[in-house]
Amino acid sequence: MSEPNTTRRGFVQGFAFGAIAAGSAAQADDAPKDAKPPEKPQLSQVDARMALIVDRFGKHKELDDKALDAIRAEVATIVRRGEQLRKISLENGDGPFPVFHPYRSSTD
């Protein structure tokens, strides 16, 4: 018998997988045609990004609840920064300075 999902790591994993499952259910063929579309799961950007972290790095025992709390705070900062960046309007022609250079070895 598995332990209940009471840890933050387990909650985040469950939330992410639950979100995917809800999406699948909405597409099922046997859903009643006149049924109200299911409410979109309220998965915040922070939750979604935390799920990615747990999925990729959750194998490390050092990422315990306390560590995940600290990481979550940083993820929230990153999400806020993304929002700040998107508030700055850019034109299509506003490109980054190029950093890629085609390469050809000088030996041939």
Based on CB atoms, which residue is closest to another protein, 27 or 106?
106
CA 73 vs CA 8, 59, 89, 100, 106: distances in Å: 13, 20, 27, 34, 48
Question: Amino acid letter at 85?
Answer: L
Kindly tell me which residue out of 2, 32, 90, 108 binds another protein, with binding defined by CB under 8 A: 90
d(CA 57, CA 53): 6
Interaction site with another protein (CB under 8 A): 49, 52-53, 56-57, 60, 62-63, 67, 70-71, 74-75, 77-78, 81-82, 84-86, 88, 90, 94-97, 99, 101, 103, 106
